[in-house]
Structure 1
């Protein structure tokens, strides 16, 4: 895979990244094999969070990827704190908490630095200046190289875009959910990359039964699925490859994060990784035809 620079950072990322939340159960033999096989295929961006399995997910990555640490980009998230009884978590976006939480993530990831440290959510009521101070301090201390957001809230994204040195924003973006496009012009202007998640629409446009999705009815989802089937057949490619290509064809999107659980699922992506596709404007128009474009109703 041809590498792309993530925003204004020096990080060179492969356009297909691995979201590790779906790898449950810690550093099992299967999970370790999936992670290492991903590296072999050219994947170098691995996304996790301290929230996932109460840190076990970070620990799994730390164990599996230590031998290739210099070849991979480790991205994790902070801002949610598990309650002591393990029943749920609370939003904890303060400078003191972020400074403290990074130490646990560094230990679990078995690394001296985190390539991309992301705020795992965020509201407009947060002490944003204080949060930025925390991330900037961690950069100066060498504990993180860069920081970013994991948020779908336009008002929050605008605040950090104007006040901070974020290099990326992770958000859901796919053929059925184009709401983030409202903020894309600002991100492009500031040279801030989008890391897309949810790119495969929960499998609804591939092989899962059709149902309502966000504000779209099952009938609208069915129409979109027929568009995907028709164009994928015409181009002689898989629906997965088509959906990934569509997401990555937007100039501001530098990484599409995929969640897999097995080696078979990972190997199914080999064609996408080895032979990237470029969609023509006509292809894009055909794929998008008749699909209602959703817009954010809150947090504007």
Structure 2
């Protein structure tokens, strides 16, 4: 497994990350999947306080057990559940962030978080206040690095210019090439790493039956899936891994977050623990299989 530096931080993250939202507290053997991920070289685990009202953080903390010092844990903040636990509101205020991390630390059974991320955000947020909260937590040793999870170019630009973020998590796949328009180059120039989510496009790039996705028709999805299958077969790797290879081809992308519910899904995306780069011809073939898209809002 290859490991990449996250932004300008000291964190070295595996190029395939475990998206823990796929783990459910009702799942039969979530610990077994996490432990095999560790065996395959995955050291980067992404969760959020929003998932199952914090139960996902508890589950991850228990699954990692004594392996805590060997892994990079990322979690997120900003979505505050109401007292009844029936809905959540957006809350990017400093006082909430400072309070919320204490609950995440307790649930994760740790005294620090490697990467703390704002779970969303708008251009109307008190951005300087958010940055101040993260910087304070970093100074106090509660976090090692911080970033944002956002697909909005206008929000991304503000944090890049006003903060010391090390990462931006964003949706990026062969079927959602919007980040290629402006965001990827900007972040690369500023030494801010990208963490991708949705790189399998809800499973459509990993063998799931075709259905419309974003502005792509079913026919387009089928053609893209066929191209991925062809390249994967030639290279003797799965469609899932081929789809991950596409986003990892960009040097600004440090890690592709994938949700695994079973050990089989995990193996499909890791090829043992080898994730080779695409050849120039294969990459061009994938790009030519679908037209790039652009952001229409929050520009």
TM over 0.5: yes
| Structure 1 partner of 2:251 | 251
* Number of residues of Structure 1 aligned to a counterpart in Structure 2: 298
Alignment of 1:65-214 (within 5 A): 65-181=64-180, 182-214=182-214
Q: Which runs of 5+ in 1 are unaligned?
A: none
Any idea what SS the aligned residue of 1:24 has?
Answer: coil
Counterparts of 2:186 and 2:233, CA distance in 1: 35
| Structure 2 partner of 1:58 | 57
Is the counterpart of residue 12 in structure 1 residue 25 in structure 2?
no
| Structure 2 partner of 1:279 | 278
Any idea what SS the aligned residue of 1:202 has?
Answer: coil
Give TM-score, length-normalised by structure 1: 0.96
Counterparts of 1:212 and 1:268, CA distance in 2: 24
**Alpha-carbon shift at residue 236 of structure 1 (Å):** 2.6
Counterparts of 2:89 and 2:256, CA distance in 1: 28
Counterparts of 1:192 and 1:107, CA distance in 2: 29
Q: Residues 261-292 of structure 1: CA distance to partner in whole angstroms, max 9, x if unpaired?
A: 12232233341x52222212211111121412
Q: Residues 81-107 of structure 1: CA distance to partner in whole angstroms, max 9, x if unpaired?
A: 011122211000100000000000010
Task: Verify the 8 A CA contact 1:224 1:288 in the aligned structure 2.
Answer: no
Cα RMSD (Å): 1.3
Range moving further from structure 2, 289-298 or 108-117: 289-298
Any idea what SS the aligned residue of 2:85 has?
Answer: coil
**Alpha-carbon shift at residue 223 of structure 1 (Å):** 1.7
Counterparts of 2:205 and 2:267, CA distance in 1: 20
Residues 1:263 and 1:290: Cα distance change in structure 2 (over 3 Å): closer
Task: Verify the 8 A CA contact 2:174 2:243 in the aligned structure 1.
Answer: yes
Task: Verify the 8 A CA contact 2:205 2:228 in the aligned structure 1.
Answer: yes
Q: Residues 187-219 of structure 1: CA distance to partner in whole angstroms, max 9, x if unpaired?
A: 011100000111111121332121111011112
Q: Residues 8-64 of structure 1: CA distance to partner in whole angstroms, max 9, x if unpaired?
A: 0000111011000011116x6601111122111111000000000000000111112
Residues 1:265 and 1:230: Cα distance change in structure 2 (over 3 Å): closer
Give TM-score, length-normalised by structure 2: 0.96
Counterparts of 1:270 and 1:15, CA distance in 2: 10
Counterparts of 1:18 and 1:87, CA distance in 2: 27
Q: Residues 164-188 of structure 1: CA distance to partner in whole angstroms, max 9, x if unpaired?
A: 0100000111111011122111101
Task: Verify the 8 A CA contact 2:199 2:243 in the aligned structure 1.
Answer: yes
Task: Verify the 8 A CA contact 1:15 1:248 in the aligned structure 2.
Answer: yes
Residues 1:94 and 1:213: Cα distance change in structure 2 (over 3 Å): same
Any idea what SS the aligned residue of 1:49 has?
Answer: coil
Q: Which runs of 5+ in 2 are unaligned?
A: none
Q: Residues 223-257 of structure 1: CA distance to partner in whole angstroms, max 9, x if unpaired?
A: 21121122222323221121111111111101011
Task: Verify the 8 A CA contact 2:207 2:239 in the aligned structure 1.
Answer: no
**Alpha-carbon shift at residue 222 of structure 1 (Å):** 1.6
| Structure 2 partner of 1:233 | 233
Range moving further from structure 2, 58-67 or 44-53: 58-67
Any idea what SS the aligned residue of 1:268 has?
Answer: helix
